Structure 1
Amino acid sequence: MTGPRIPAEDSATEVVRWAAFSCVLVPVVLLWYGTSLAGATGTALGLAAVTAVCRLLLRQSEQGSVRLLEEEPTGRAPRPRGRHHRTAAGVRRAGRHTGRNTEVG
C-alpha cells in the first residue's frame, strides 16, 4: 500500500497485534498457574481462531470504508438514510402543535 496510512487502519493493526500477543501470553500464564498442556493448547487455538475472524472482519470493514470514500465525490461520509431519517409527505414532526385545544380530564 502506498501513501500515508489512515488512522483507522493503524488502530486495526494495533488491535490485531495485541490479540496475537494475547494468543501467546494467555496459554503461558495458564501453564504457569498449573493448567494442563492440552487445556492451554486448546485455549491458544481458540484465541487464534477468534483473532483470525476479527482480523478478517476488520479488513473487510476497512475495505468497505475505503470504497465508500472513493464513491463519495466530496470525500465525506454519506448522510444516513434510515427509516428514522426521513419523513413522508404530510407527516408532522414532534413538537408544539397549534390550532387545536382539547381538555384533559
Structure 2
Amino acid sequence: MSGPGPTPERDRTTRPARDTVTDLVRWAAFSCLLVPVVLLWCGSSLAGAAGVACGLAAVTGACRLLMRRSQRAAARPPSESPEP
C-alpha cells in the first residue's frame, strides 16, 4: 500500500509567503561575520578585518533599505494620473 496521495484539502492549504528580503539580509549578516573571521584566520590584520566588516555591514544596510523601498513601491497600486 502506498502513502497518502494528494487530497483536495492538502492542495488548498498554502504556505505563508516567505519574506525573501529578510532571508537575504540574514545571509548577508552571516557573511559580515564570516568574512572577517576568515581574513583573520588567513593572517590579515585585526584593523583590516574590522574595516571589511564595517564596509560589508554598510553595504548590507543600504541594500536592505533599497530592497524594502522597492517592495513598497511594487505593492502600491498604480495611480491613474502619472506624476512628473
TM-score above 0.5: yes
CA displacement at 1:6 relative to structure 2: 4.1
Greater percentage in helix: 2
Where 2:76 maps in the other structure, the secondary structure is helix
1:56 aligns with 2:56: no
Unaligned runs of 5+ in 1: 73-105
Where 1:21 maps in the other structure, the secondary structure is helix
Aligned counterpart, 2:76? 67
> Quick one: distance in 1 between partners of 2:66 and 2:17?
17
CA displacement at 1:12 relative to structure 2: 1.1
The percentage of counterpart residues that share the same residue type is 60
Correspondence list, 1:37-56, <5 A: 37-56=46-65
Aligned counterpart, 1:27? 36
Unaligned runs of 5+ in 2: 1-14, 80-84
CA displacement at 1:65 relative to structure 2: 1.1
> Quick one: distance in 2 between partners of 1:29 and 1:15?
21
Q: So what's the TM-score if we normalise by structure 2?
A: 0.70
Aligned counterpart, 2:23? 14
* Number of aligned residues: 65
List, as ranges, runs of 4+ consecutive aligned residues in structure 1 with deviation greater than 6 Å: none
Aligned counterpart, 1:90? none
Give the structure with higher Rg (CA). 1
CA displacement at 1:5 relative to structure 2: 5.7
**C-alpha deviations, 1:16-51, integer Å up to 9, x for none?**
110010000000010011000000000000000000
